[in-house]
Amino acid sequence: MTEQSDINDTLDTSGLYCPEPIMMMHNRVRDMAPGQVLEIIATDPATTRDVPKFCTFLGHELIGQSEEDGTWRYYIRLASDQ
């Protein structure tokens, strides 16, 4: 699991449904530097499919994920060539 100190930014998309969490992620990573870690908090079950695809498509690394009581957390290390 990712240490709290490794996280550079957090995006809370709780209560939002597809496609909003992915659109917000796309906008947020534009403002971040390569190699930084973004934590995403989501309540939409579709993110279990969408976040890994987002990472694969854009070359980011999904370095961790967890689920507790209907809330998912994802940790993404941004690609060096975004």
Would you name the residues annotated as active-site residues? 18
Report which of 27, 26, 18, 25 is spatially closest to residue 74, judged by C-alpha positions: 25
Which residues neighbour 71 within 8 Å (Cβ) at sequence distance 6 or greater? 14, 41, 42, 43
